[in-house]
Amino acid sequence: MSQSPHEIAFIKSDMSKPVDHSSTRISDTKAEEDESQLTSPSLNEKDSKVAFKSFGVRKAELVIAQMVSPYHKAIFYVTVFLGMLSLVFEQQCLGVFVGYATNSYKQHSLMSTITTIGQVAMGACAPFFARAADVFGRLEIFVIAFILKTIGTVVQSQAVDIQKYAAGTVFYGVGSTGVVTMWQLCIADASTLRWRFMSLTSLCATSIITPWTVGEITSRILKTRSWRFGIALWAYVTPLACLPFALVYFHLVWKTYQTDAWKQLSREKKTAFLDGSATARRYLGELSAATSRLEKLKARIKYILLRVMKKSIIVLWDIDFIGCLLLAVTLGLFLVPFTLAGGVSSKWSQASTIVPLVVGFVSIPIFVLWETKLTKTPLLAWEVMKDRGVWGAFMIGLFAFNITTLPNSYSYPVLLVGMNASETVATRTPSLSIFTEGIAVPIIGLIVFKLRRSKAFILLGDFIMFIATGLFVHFRGSNDGSNAKYYRDGVAAAFCVSGIAQAMFYRLTTTSLQATTNHEYMAPVTAIFTTFVTVGGAMGRCISGAIWTQKMYGAIVDNMAKSGVDTTLAMSAYATPYEFIKEHPWGSDPRRAVSLAYASVQKKLSITALCFCVPLLLCILVLRDHRLTDTQNLADVKEVGENVDPEKNVQLALSKKSQVIFKDDDDHILNFIRKVLRLPKKQPHSAM
């Protein structure tokens, strides 16, 4: 592994000093412990009030400290916006093309399965990327994630069967999650808690543009080219759109390398490494004693290989690669079989369905054992995980995307086939939710900035979601197969209302969660929240896919029989619906039977989503309601106060310890509930 110029300079300065070979009696086990302390958060079991800040977090603080004016931050946020705009275009187009891909393989019912596979990959890899970013750097992990995403795009576009397409989906899901996670962390690094929600506008405002253009793009591509070209196109467009962000962040890193504070951090890291590694000191001794170029080259290569080995150990233990892998296996074995078990004939009694579920059940205790007993650094420390402000937010992420995904999974075929929408309208309508979300975020962000509280808005978001799911139950579940425009307009209104709700209970929960802990644990909790969000989406697609594959074919057969239509047409309507509607126009009996079948299944999906709004409400009530300050995290307030400037940011980066969890919030909502129920008011906690 290559060394920084400052580290090489420090090695050269050490070469002139005599090496105490007696110190080699120190075991290399201590080296791993000291290196771990610099690369991952260290939480003392006996005194959990503070934790050592890892080298990677301190580096990120120094990088952000180079943005010395609002002008610099504006450029930074604009580059994030440009990259996210292209990525959102790409994801929405691919969401349409996956239906045509599975249709071309004559496996349209597996559309939900393919998307679930991508969701599982996304959910499992987010904590890994967050940990890796704290160790190796935000920009380095961003580049790696982007390469994986591009590979996935190319594989999907060239896939000749459903298996290869699924493999490309995994690469794409992993890479795109890494890219978005890095943007989330960079925005959180650069913003104060008070402006945190408002700063998400750079990620959300893209959706104000995309709903009105994605439909035109996909329609034009499908008419003039093919779905393969439509996927491959983004392997070229998105990298160009993300290049400005990479260049801006690289410039910040380069400026950081020129500072005295960075040189001090580099010396601290190298000193700790040498103090704990007898082998490293011996290699440096050989390097200083070498007289020929060949001997110096050999010693330097051995030292570099040692650093590579240590970094590999970090990936294995401190980033918990095995834990992330076990998480992916567990989720995949549980969720994917549910979307495969139905269809034309039920497969619940087949070994291909039973075995993955059994293995998935067995893998749960293995994952728990690994995280609690075997790994040195679990995905999240128990001291952090057990706080209600943390686990409550995780549960919100799980239920929130479950709710929004359930009525959204098959929205394109429902609108196109069941409601006679054009390709443009069928693509545009589901995007209305993120359109209204993009508008709501900056508006609510200004209100949150003024009031400095978040919980009331999250609670309001759940009440609005009750209304949205009720609209879905009516307009998607009562379609009569003839009055198409009425039901299309109702579905569009429901998507708009759900977008406002999403902005409140999903986006704002991220800010509430990050206010509960310090900068050291910000990346892990944000990534695990993303994991719960993507798992919630996967569960939603799993449930919708299970209901769709279990019920749809039978519903089509029943409605065709009731309408006096030849039931042999049910197979083509189920397997290749886009080809079916070309032969059976709107108003024909076969088409009306399919529309009624779609409505009956969609009603079940929408009612399921409505039921999930109740546990979501309970999870929101347990959240903390911290006062949002003008600092990156609440620990900084006690270090330098609320008025933070670039010089104080450098001071914070050089600080080696930070408080972990903050429980001293004044929760007006929970206090009101206690008062109504005549429960004693809970005494304020001290920060942990």
List the structure tokens of 131.
């940990």
**Span 622-647, average pLDDT:** 76
pLDDT higher than threshold 80 for residue 434: yes
Element spanning 226, H or E? none
**Span 574-591, average pLDDT:** 88
For 108-145, how does the pLDDT look when each residue is reduced to its tens digit (9 = 90+)? 556 666 666 777 777 778 888 888 888 888 899 999 99
On the 0-12 / 13-18 / 19+ scale of CB atoms within 10 A, 614 is: exposed
More confident residue, 307 or 413: 413
Q: Quote the mean pLDDT of the chain.
A: 80
**Span 680-688, average pLDDT:** 57
- Residue pair 520/188 in contact (Cβ under 8 Å)? The answer is no
> Which residue is it, tokens 């949002």?
628
pLDDT higher than threshold 80 for residue 60: yes
More confident residue, 139 or 329: 139
pLDDT confidence band for 343 (50 / 70 / 90): very low
**Alpha carbon distance 331, 126 (integer Å):** 14
pTM of the predicted structure, to 2 decimals: 0.81
55 domain-assigned: no
More confident residue, 18 or 379: 379
Q: What is the pLDDT of residue 45?
A: 39
Q: Which residues contact 77 (CB under 8 A, 6 or more apart)?
A: 187, 190, 199, 201, 202
pLDDT higher than threshold 70 for residue 597: yes
**Span 441-466, average pLDDT:** 93
496 domain-assigned: yes
**Alpha carbon distance 201, 181 (integer Å):** 15
430 domain-assigned: yes
**CATH number of the domain to which 242 belongs:** 1.20.1250.20
Count structural domains, the chain.
1
List the structure tokens of 259.
């500072």
Helices (H), 563-576: 569-575
161-170, 386-395, 408-417, 677-686: which range is least confident on average? 677-686
pLDDT confidence band for 349 (50 / 70 / 90): low
pLDDT higher than threshold 90 for residue 644: no
Q: Among residues of the chain, what percentage have pLDDT more than 90?
A: 24
Q: What is the pLDDT of residue 185?
A: 92
- Residue pair 623/392 in contact (Cβ under 8 Å)? The answer is yes
**Span 367-382, average pLDDT:** 81
For 246-287, how does the pLDDT look when each residue is reduced to its tens digit (9 = 90+)? 999 999 999 988 888 888 877 877 777 677 677 777 777 777
340 domain-assigned: no
**Span 132-159, average pLDDT:** 90
32-46, 96-110, 243-257, 367-381: which range is least confident on average? 32-46
- Residue pair 203/641 in contact (Cβ under 8 Å)? The answer is no
For 188-224, how does the pLDDT look when each residue is reduced to its tens digit (9 = 90+)? 988 889 999 999 889 888 888 887 887 788 888 888 8
pLDDT higher than threshold 50 for residue 547: yes
Q: What is the pLDDT of residue 312?
A: 72
List the structure tokens of 102.
């599975």
pLDDT higher than threshold 70 for residue 676: yes
Instruction: Locate the DSSP E strands across 486-530.
Output: none
Element spanning 211, H or E? none
Residue type, 538: A
**Alpha carbon distance 415, 558 (integer Å):** 21
For 503-518, how does the pLDDT look when each residue is reduced to its tens digit (9 = 90+)? 888 889 999 999 998 8
On the 0-12 / 13-18 / 19+ scale of CB atoms within 10 A, 442 is: middle
pLDDT higher than threshold 80 for residue 401: yes
**Alpha carbon distance 284, 303 (integer Å):** 7
More confident residue, 272 or 376: 376
285-299, 421-435, 470-484, 577-591: which range is least confident on average? 285-299
168 domain-assigned: yes
Q: What is the pLDDT of residue 654?
A: 59
Q: Which residues contact 583 (CB under 8 A, 6 or more apart)?
A: none
Q: What is the pLDDT of residue 79?
A: 95
CA 94 to chain CA centroid, nearest Å? 18
pLDDT higher than threshold 70 for residue 684: no
pLDDT confidence band for 22 (50 / 70 / 90): very low
For 525-546, how does the pLDDT look when each residue is reduced to its tens digit (9 = 90+)? 998 998 888 778 777 877 887 7
**Span 462-488, average pLDDT:** 88
pLDDT confidence band for 34 (50 / 70 / 90): very low
575 domain-assigned: yes
517: three-class secondary structure by DSSP: strand
Element spanning 106, H or E? none
pLDDT higher than threshold 50 for residue 428: yes
**Span 549-576, average pLDDT:** 88
pLDDT confidence band for 20 (50 / 70 / 90): very low
Which range of residues forms the domain containing residue 462? 65-255+387-621
The total of other beta-carbon atoms located within 10 Å of residue 19's CB is 18
DSSP assignment, residue 105? T
pLDDT higher than threshold 60 for residue 15: no
**Span 402-417, average pLDDT:** 86
Can you state the angle between helices 589-621 and 519-562, rounded to 10 degrees? 150
**Span 344-361, average pLDDT:** 70
Residues in the chain: 688
pLDDT higher than threshold 90 for residue 501: yes
Q: Which of 393, 499, 512, 526 is nearest to 454 (CA)?
A: 512
pLDDT higher than threshold 60 for residue 7: no
Q: What angle do CA 442, 443, 445 make, to 5 degrees?
A: 60
pLDDT confidence band for 4 (50 / 70 / 90): very low
Q: What angle do CA 312, 313, 316 make, to 5 degrees?
A: 90
Q: Which residues contact 626 (CB under 8 A, 6 or more apart)?
A: 193, 389, 512, 515, 516, 634, 662, 665
More confident residue, 659 or 20: 659
Phi–psi pair at 127, nearest 5 degrees: -60, -35
2-6, 34-38, 446-450: which range is least confident on average? 2-6
316 domain-assigned: no
**Alpha carbon distance 586, 567 (integer Å):** 18
DSSP assignment, residue 344? S
**Alpha carbon distance 510, 310 (integer Å):** 33
Q: Looking at the DSSP assignment, which residues form a beta bridge with residue 43? A: 51
**Span 31-43, average pLDDT:** 45
pLDDT higher than threshold 60 for residue 674: yes
pLDDT higher than threshold 80 for residue 646: no
